[in-house]
Structure 1
Amino acid sequence: MPRMTPIRTVLVGLLLATTTTAADKTTTDRKGLDFFESKIRPVLVRHCYQCHSAKAAANKMLKGGLQVDTRSGIRKGGETGPGVVPGQPKKSLLVAALKHDGLKMPPKAKLPASIVADFEKWIQLGAPDPRDGKAVATQAIDVQAGKAHWSFQPLAEVKPPAIPDGDVVRTDIDRFIRAAQRAKGLTPNPRATPAALLRRVHFNMIGLPPTPDDQQRFLAEAEKDFEAAWAAEIDRLLASKHYGERWGRHWLDLVRFAESNGYAFDKDRANAYQYRDFVIRALNQDMPYDRFVRLQIAGDLLAKTDSKTASEARTALDAVAATGFLVAGPFTTQQTQKERERSRYEQLDDVVHTLGTSLLGLTVGCARCHSHKYDPLPQNDYYRFVSCFKEVGFGDTSLNLSPEVFQASKAKYDAALKPLTDAVAAWEKSRLPGRFDQWLARRPSAPPTPAFGHWHHVGPFPATDFNKAYDTAVGPETRLQAGADLGRSFLKGTVSWQVQPGWTDGKIHNTLTGNNAANYLVRTIDSPSALAVEFAFGGDDGMKAFLNGKEILNKKTMGGVKADQHKVKVTLAAGRNELLIKIVNAGGPSGFFFRMNGGQVPKDVVAAWSLPAEKWNDKQKTAVRNWYRTTDEEWVPLDAAVAAHRKTEPKPKMTPVYSARVRGTTYQFGGDTFKVYFLSRGNADNKQGEAPAGFLRVLMNTKENGQHWLLKSGDKKQPVKPRVAAASWLTDVKNGAGHLLARVIVNRVWQYHFGRGLVTTPSDFGTRGERPTHPRLLDWLAGELIRGGWKLKHLHRLILSSHTWMQGNGRTANGEKVDPDNRLWWRRGAKRLEAELIRDTLLDVSGRLTRDMFGKGSLDQKSNRRSVYLTVKRGQLIPILQLFDAPDAMQGVGKRNESTVAPQALAMLNSPFIRELSGGFAKRVRPDAKTSLEAAINAAYRMALARTPNSSEREAMLAFVKTQTESRKGQANAEELAVRDFCHLLLCSNEFIYVD
């Protein structure tokens, strides 16, 4: 695009017009109509037509004079005033009625807040509504006849036109383009300069500007051999890790990716970022597009779950994470029981609507309430297709990404466990029988139970702070561990222990005192034999416990005492045991809790005990022997060693992934939650029978009516899971939707390269959409994609190598006259950077951009990471991205709006964040006063605009810096601030945010 003087550049930036182009308006209108068809019409049909339609009027059932089944009727309103005022939700009585604010629609129950929010958004969009006449009866659809539409036809076998190579014909793409131009007497622009091409291709492919080193290297190589240099640059960028970040953001637009539910509560989806990471990895790895699609439809069902290696585990994680595509949509938690079934159908509609627009370029969701008004999509086909996804819910799936590490740890653990369990088994085989017989000969008349002495207490012992009280109090407690001084002898001679007969077990005793002080409690436990038991403790605010001089508990809780706060498994020795507890209180009331679990003789052993041993049956003898074993002083340490080792058993490190889950979280409403029915007029209260899984017949070239994919090799005894079948149908070029899938994606790739697709309605290839400007080229590209193994990088090379992509953006009188809209691609159009690229480039030139990939994002717009890693929280979108038209993630976006409004320029000029980045930019181009101003200006142009300034620009900028310096006369850093102003000025220029 033409370069401008600095002052004019800034003025243009400040006075950006608020107009939009005709193309922008067309895109906006179509998005609005799609929103109406998917979100508004179904609600009107289901909840409003019964009382507010022409049919209701004919049956003398019209309420309030309001008809909502036509555009004119809903805007005119009824007896109380206009129902819808385009652009003004607050003045639209329909919104007030939906909120039950005075008026009430529906009268019996208010609709969910999410639906009301949809109506407000629709009205804010201008209330686009295609219903321009009276309601008409839906006509039967002839699917077979509908297949005649160009996009439903098989791919044509196309050969490029026979046009020889030349300056403007480099590839077969150019041959198709040039043939159409010749027919109209058009000549394309010559190739752009190497510098312009380098900047263009870097933003196009990785979303970042070329560095000064990139510029120096490429320009030197291009001067020697442009063709070799250009091919190498394409390869370099396609191999860059940033390629997936750049092109992944395009895909995330299409699938309404977000990391929260949306609506009022907007609950976070902490692990949804895994889907974003999958998309980036898949693109960087050049995953075949058909597999990319299959995984997003049924990856969780196709994944190998018993991974043995890290590579297999990563593949499984990607397959599971890919299904985030299905469950990325908004989800409201504000539901009454009655609303849940309706909301479940809304959720499933979101799935198939997004799938239809993003993958097939079809507004499938428009067949929900009635057969599609324009395309050959019967309503029954819609519900059959929805049924493929009837069991889809969402949630976190956890996977182990390091199975080899876990397997090695587990093998080591098992190897150490075996001798311990072998020792127990050997003892039980060789020693247990004899020792059990000896015990039987001298067993007591009644089962033994431990006897507890009274608690004794001493304290409080204050300290200067809590930690000192906890660590030492009256002395080093490590003396206890030697076993020489137990319990009361630990403090003998310094204090007097007080017996507490009222302190019973199993109750909380809040009777201790002292701030930053320790209290000690001790008791005896006489055990008739060695017993494995569990102690349950509670203490406020910290506690330690010692059994027979050995520390068994050391915990700081810093909170009120509770029952069973800490549980410890111990073994009581035969005979007397001594338990010492230390309670440390920070302040306020304090207390403790204690209870012993276990140690009681099992009921079946007690029952056998009353009989002579010779009368025990095998079951009783086994029960008594097994109990005795737990009291044997030889067996107890052997078993304790096993138990202690089992506590060290390694656990796999699991990574949670937000994904589709079979029968996962959704709107639950009973037995029909995971079923799909044919619904009359889309009304969940009017079911017409359960819908079997199936597909869109207009995209089936087989007589089996879907069974071709739903059965394994036609075997009715081996059905295929419907989602897996749907994935196969979508990618089946010969018999299924594969030909349309290929057309849609190559058109999107073309659009992202050129700013406009060969089909200018990228998400609508139906009869309402535009026909392709170059249908033969579209089919040839789709065929090339398939022949190339569905590899997108192959497609990029084809496009980037073409003269059509490489030409300049100059205008000619003949071109403007013959093809003013550039439908024949005779020139390159300037393209504004997307919101994320503007922010990333600002960070890059300031030196703050970090290149860390993957992982959880941030809501901080000042984060130094690339914008693709900023968290997409539907209720808290990043301001700078929204300002430059980033999507709101409520529905998929095939082509972003490109608004030009004054707040954008004002933000660039006045934002403290951008001012801060300008300072960083200035430090890079002039790190100290030794760097000349001329060198700083040259460096700034190379970093920000990927070129050197011409002499007039350099002189103008030097003059600008001088003026800014003089305006700060007297300030020590006046020149430094002036350089910052210059850098800021460069960032505010049109050239900075546009690519030729």
Structure 2
Amino acid sequence: MPSIRPALVALLLVAPTLAADKPAADRKGLGFFESKIRPVLVRHCYQCHSAKAAATKMLKGGLQVDTRSGIRKGGETAPAVVPGQPNKSLLLAALKHDGLEMPPKAKLPASIVADFEKWIQLGAPDPRDGKVVATQSIDIEAGKTHWSFRPLADVKPPAFDRGETVRTDIDRFVRAAQQAKGLRPNLRATPLTLLRRLYFDLVGLPPSPDDQQRFLGEAEQDFEAAWAGEINRLLASQHYGERWGRHWLDLVRFAESNGYAFDKDRASAYQYRDFVIRALNQDMPYDRFVRLQIAGDLLAMTGAKTNPQARTALNAVAATGFLVAGPFTTQQTQKERERSRYEQLDDIVGTLGTSLLGLTVGCARCHSHKYDPLPQSDYYRFVSCFKEVGFGDTSLNLNPEAFQAATAKYTAALKPLTDAVATWEKARLSVRFAAWLSRRPPEPPVPTLGHWHHAGPFPAADFNKAYDTAAGPEATAGKRVNLGQIFRDGAVGWQVQPTWTDGKIHNTLSGNNAANYLVRIIDSPSALPVEFAFGGDDAIKAFLNGTQILNKKTMGGVKADQHKVKATLAAGRNELLIKVVNAGGVSGFFFRLVGGQVAKDVVAAWKVPAAKWNTKQKTAVRNWYRTTDEEWIPLDAAVAVHRKTQPKPQMTPVYSAKVKGTSYQFGGDTFKVYFLARGNADNKQGEAPAGFLRVLINARANDRHWLNSTDKKSPVKPRIAAAGWLTDVDNGAGHLLARVIVNRIWQYHFGRGLVTTPSDFGTRGERPTHPRLLDWLAGELIRGDWKLKHIHRLVLASHTWMQANGRSADAEKIDPDNRLWWRRGARRLEAELIRDSLLDISGRLQKNMFGKGSLDQKSNRRSVYLTVKRGQLTPILQLFDAPDAMQGVGKRNESTVAPQALAMLNSPFIRELSGGFAKRVRPDAKTSLENAVTSAYRLALARAPDSSEKETMLTFIKSQTASRKGQANAEELAVRDFCQLLFCSNEFVYVD
């Protein structure tokens, strides 16, 4: 197509380069260092590369890695770490055993090496200044004076009359701070600007032209009523949970695979994503939302009788996906498993700390926290609350009502059949047994099994054809077997196998994608119900007297008793034909007769005259005889046939936390937690009891407040106690929990929180810009029964949120960073919203909710339903800073790089969507170009173009048409160029 790049240069503003939030990035990097890097250095490097090693003349290569300056200076060769340049960092090369080797005896796991590479890419943040710091005990009570650890203040909004810039109590707090600095906020933005802002904030999709027209009409009549109605309508939308669920999934490092080299899929992990969306849509109280994610599997109702109860149980179990969403490597030696188990627990507690409490709890793993009142002992006691957590699929029946109805129907139909058997046994068994006894044979009648005969292999083009094709002997199934028969022009015939004994696995068959046939003759003295046990590799079929009784694909090695089948032998000759299908390599089979044999007590009784039988012997023979009676056999067979129809519940797998589920197994201590000196699993200091962070426990309480139970036989499970402590506003962490989540809501609405370090409320984090407002909002959340939608309404009704994005030179001098919220800052849409908007505007978005996702970035579903596979992330989302799901993210990076513009300009996917957009605005040549331009602006930007814009775009379309002189669809393609141009504009990907 003709180039539209010159038009872009002429028509579009260059996207502003956004300065990175360096303090936030530094804090994130330091947290990564403390949790991932320092523990490895301490365990594997300090012995030979530290000040202590130097003092004892044990220093190797002149390299000290126990200080920032030492690790950057390096040893005798070159700098060990060059911040931001992994390829120039000798330490990384040594860890990879690339020329140098550290540690010298064994290479560290690939996951640890990857952590060091990531740390260096982050700039190698390192708080160690090299000075010897005397160990100090932590004063917990003094630590409680930090602003975030204090109880919520009883705050009243400042006195401000309602007016043009004061609409709600939020505005009163904000205006008080502005007034103290001599600032005035901007006036309210235009209705359509507000509407577009609101749609992206709450549902993550642009308002349609119909939505725009409806709102403008309502706002003209009564703006306040129209605005409140629009907020309520969008909060009630099912798409609200999709939008805000994505925020939460960032925090909890949600993914649907293990990560690392093998990156095994977690096929049912999507159930956690669906739980989050449903919970937010239902406005589940936030304290319950948290409790379920900590201990939902322990709180869930077992044996649900109704469908609503089953759905509640599903939510509770799925919620614990929070705990086990982190990466999990399967590349472990036995020696590495214990260390990795502590890494797994650290991931759980570290994520919980940052996402729920805004605390870097993981930094207390190797030593007491350097900055916050979090002793190392508290860390291990808190970790102990989760010591039994593993992961796996929990199976749930989500339709118990249908199962109960089917079971009742089955039971009702079974009763007359079992009654018929009981009636016969009462009326006929004794008479027929006595008659039979008078003429009993000298030996108990048992079937006689002849030798096996084998024919094959019969190769086919592939495994399925070998399985499906009735070759040779199978083609004659239903007829008498001719053991002298020759197949394939004399190439294959029946071969007797007298050494093949029953009850053993015989790996003697061959042929790739081939069938082997086995047959034997079974003589039965009478009609006799029997049970066969089969095994076959990789598939098996069985026919008795021409009737198929088994048809199974196993796709694996043969095993004893893989398949059991009940059948009835006819009196006289019976022919059992088996087909074993092999995919490749050596194949085998297994067979034994399970039922139909005569029990030992019957054989023993047979040796004694009937007149001398005791009660036990008579009962044994009588029960055995019953199974051979020609009147009883069809009655029992009818029961057996019906029992095969017994309904089974339809079970749904749910990836979740499981008590002692999948973990790094290393023996009896797998599900125990010990205090570890320096975080080293080889240096245990005693088993750690369950407990909580003391800085967040009221002086009048202690751990026992949540762990003790009035029922000594049923102690409180530590995870349930932890969930109680986290949400307890009287004695536990409830006030901090509320502060953190209302700050996150503010951040997602404004682009920046009242606390600008949303996952660090500790002493190294930023203090709140409006501490009284933060406490008031947290109090409102608690007073409002922890309902998040209540906080949304407060924020969205405020003038602070509704103001325009104008700049003022005077205000810039006073508050250049807009910390006092005197204007609204423009914000770029997140990656998912950009992709969803492209699909929506092009007319391709499918809004079906829930269920398994897709790895295809061209899927027409919303981006929240794209499968998050750690080793195969979605390219277009990564391009616009979607997280990698290896750790929780409280605030995304917002980069501005050339590949973003290049993708919007050159991607075939974007070009394809531009075509759909063009078809919507100009379905045929009857639609004028003027109307097409206006429609496109309303769809993409939620406004009409001004006269200058319209004229410019019409000129562009005509120019593009002219450049395709001679093409029949030149104008159609030019309109597509114009639509792609709007997709490439700043205004499309930014919200004002």
TM-score (norm 1): 0.91
Q: Is 1:903 the equivalent of 2:899?
A: yes
1:539–1:118 Cα change, 3 Å: closer
> Which shows bigger deviation, 595-604 or 786-795?
595-604
* Mapping for residues 456-467 of structure 1, pairs under 5 Å: none
| Counterpart secondary structure, 1:769 | coil
Instruction: Write out per-residue CA displacement over residues 449-494 of structure 1, whole angstroms, 9 at most, x where no aligned residue.
Output: 224578999999999998999689999989x6xxxx97789x9xxx
Q: Is 1:280 the equivalent of 2:285?
A: no
- CA contact under 8 A between 2:455 and 2:493: conserved in structure 1? no
How far residue 445 of structure 1 moved from its aligned partner, in angstroms, is: 1.9
1:591–1:705 Cα change, 3 Å: closer
- CA contact under 8 A between 2:81 and 2:120: conserved in structure 1? yes
Q: Is 1:138 the equivalent of 2:160?
A: no
1:204–1:638 Cα change, 3 Å: same
Within the candidate set 920, 924, 939, 1:924 is matched to 920
Instruction: Write out per-residue CA displacement over residues 875-897 of structure 1, whole angstroms, 9 at most, x where no aligned residue.
Output: 11111111111111111110001
Within the candidate set 810, 813, 819, 2:809 is matched to 813
How far residue 381 of structure 1 moved from its aligned partner, in angstroms, is: 0.5
* Equivalent residue, structure 2, for 1:981: 977
Name the amino acid aligned to 1:249: R
Within the candidate set 682, 687, 710, 2:684 is matched to 687
* Equivalent residue, structure 2, for 1:823: 819
1:883–1:454 Cα change, 3 Å: closer
> Which shows bigger deviation, 972-981 or 446-455?
446-455
Separation of aligned partners in 2, 1:421 and 1:211 = 65
Instruction: Write out per-residue CA displacement over residues 540-593 of structure 1, whole angstroms, 9 at most, x where no aligned residue.
Output: 99967353x7564678999999998976421123x3244375979999999999
Separation of aligned partners in 2, 1:255 and 1:126 = 24
Q: Is 1:525 the equivalent of 2:523?
A: yes
> Which shows bigger deviation, 606-615 or 158-167?
606-615
Q: Is 1:236 the equivalent of 2:236?
A: no
Instruction: Provide structure 1 residue ranges, at least 5 long, that are not aligned to the other structure.
Output: none
How far residue 344 of structure 1 moved from its aligned partner, in angstroms, is: 0.6
- CA contact under 8 A between 2:536 and 2:580: conserved in structure 1? no
* Mapping for residues 774-789 of structure 1, pairs under 5 Å: 774-789=770-785
How far residue 104 of structure 1 moved from its aligned partner, in angstroms, is: 2.7
Separation of aligned partners in 2, 1:641 and 1:663 = 43
Separation of aligned partners in 2, 1:797 and 1:45 = 50
Instruction: Write out per-residue CA displacement over residues 773-831 of structure 1, whole angstroms, 9 at most, x where no aligned residue.
Output: 11010000000000000000011001000000000000112211111111110100000
| Counterpart secondary structure, 2:496 | coil
* Equivalent residue, structure 1, for 2:267: 270
How far residue 439 of structure 1 moved from its aligned partner, in angstroms, is: 2.7
How far residue 920 of structure 1 moved from its aligned partner, in angstroms, is: 1.1
1:517–1:194 Cα change, 3 Å: closer
Q: Is 1:941 the equivalent of 2:937?
A: yes
1:244–1:554 Cα change, 3 Å: closer
Within the candidate set 640, 645, 649, 1:648 is matched to 645
- CA contact under 8 A between 1:455 and 1:500: conserved in structure 2? no
1:577–1:164 Cα change, 3 Å: same
| Counterpart secondary structure, 1:396 | strand
* Equivalent residue, structure 2, for 1:83: 80
Within the candidate set 170, 189, 193, 1:173 is matched to 170
- CA contact under 8 A between 1:371 and 1:377: conserved in structure 2? yes
* Equivalent residue, structure 1, for 2:145: 148
How far residue 351 of structure 1 moved from its aligned partner, in angstroms, is: 0.6
Name the amino acid aligned to 1:525: D
* Equivalent residue, structure 1, for 2:377: 380
* Equivalent residue, structure 1, for 2:96: 99
* Equivalent residue, structure 1, for 2:61: 64
Counting aligned pairs with the same residue, the percent is: 77
- CA contact under 8 A between 2:13 and 2:986: conserved in structure 1? no
Separation of aligned partners in 1, 2:348 and 2:455 = 68
Name the amino acid aligned to 1:209: P
How far residue 434 of structure 1 moved from its aligned partner, in angstroms, is: 3.1
Instruction: Write out per-residue CA displacement over residues 670-717 of structure 1, whole angstroms, 9 at most, x where no aligned residue.
Output: 01100001111111111111000000000000444200000125x666
Q: Is 1:393 the equivalent of 2:387?
A: no
* Equivalent residue, structure 1, for 2:797: 801
* Equivalent residue, structure 1, for 2:249: 252
* Mapping for residues 553-632 of structure 1, pairs under 5 Å: 568-573=565-570, 575-579=571-575, 581=577, 596-632=593-629
1:973–1:569 Cα change, 3 Å: same
Name the amino acid aligned to 2:762: G
How far residue 537 of structure 1 moved from its aligned partner, in angstroms, is: 8.8
* Mapping for residues 480-491 of structure 1, pairs under 5 Å: none
* Equivalent residue, structure 1, for 2:180: 183
How far residue 619 of structure 1 moved from its aligned partner, in angstroms, is: 3.2
| Counterpart secondary structure, 1:502 | strand
Instruction: Write out per-residue CA displacement over residues 196-235 of structure 1, whole angstroms, 9 at most, x where no aligned residue.
Output: 0000000000000001110111111111111111011001
1:653–1:592 Cα change, 3 Å: closer
Instruction: Write out per-residue CA displacement over residues 591-646 of structure 1, whole angstroms, 9 at most, x where no aligned residue.
Output: 99976543221222222221223443433333222222211222222221111111
Q: Is 1:706 the equivalent of 2:703?
A: yes
- CA contact under 8 A between 1:520 and 1:582: conserved in structure 2? yes
- CA contact under 8 A between 2:528 and 2:596: conserved in structure 1? no
Instruction: Write out per-residue CA displacement over residues 254-304 of structure 1, whole angstroms, 9 at most, x where no aligned residue.
Output: 011111111111111111111111000000000000000000000000000
The number of aligned residues is 976
1:460–1:902 Cα change, 3 Å: closer
Within the candidate set 750, 754, 777, 2:750 is matched to 754
How far residue 534 of structure 1 moved from its aligned partner, in angstroms, is: 2.6
Within the candidate set 665, 669, 672, 1:675 is matched to 672
Separation of aligned partners in 2, 1:972 and 1:370 = 74
* Equivalent residue, structure 2, for 1:726: 722
- CA contact under 8 A between 1:397 and 1:658: conserved in structure 2? yes
1:203–1:576 Cα change, 3 Å: same
Within the candidate set 873, 880, 888, 1:877 is matched to 873
* Equivalent residue, structure 1, for 2:419: 422
1:577–1:565 Cα change, 3 Å: farther
Instruction: Write out per-residue CA displacement over residues 49-82 of structure 1, whole angstroms, 9 at most, x where no aligned residue.
Output: 2322222222333222111111111111112321
Within the candidate set 33, 49, 52, 1:52 is matched to 49
Separation of aligned partners in 2, 1:509 and 1:138 = 67
Instruction: Write out per-residue CA displacement over residues 417-448 of structure 1, whole angstroms, 9 at most, x where no aligned residue.
Output: 12222222333333323333333332222222
1:524–1:709 Cα change, 3 Å: closer
Separation of aligned partners in 2, 1:100 and 1:442 = 85
| Counterpart secondary structure, 2:28 | helix
Within the candidate set 983, 988, 993, 2:989 is matched to 993
* Equivalent residue, structure 2, for 1:411: 408
* Equivalent residue, structure 2, for 1:502: 496
* Equivalent residue, structure 1, for 2:433: 436
TM-score (norm 2): 0.92
Instruction: Write out per-residue CA displacement over residues 739-789 of structure 1, whole angstroms, 9 at most, x where no aligned residue.
Output: 000000000000000000000000000000111111010000000000000
Name the amino acid aligned to 1:502: V
Q: Is 1:39 the equivalent of 2:36?
A: yes
Separation of aligned partners in 1, 2:65 and 2:978 = 57
Name the amino acid aligned to 1:924: R
1:225–1:324 Cα change, 3 Å: same
1:89–1:488 Cα change, 3 Å: closer
Separation of aligned partners in 1, 2:818 and 2:839 = 34
How far residue 95 of structure 1 moved from its aligned partner, in angstroms, is: 1.3
Separation of aligned partners in 2, 1:848 and 1:382 = 49
Q: Is 1:846 the equivalent of 2:862?
A: no
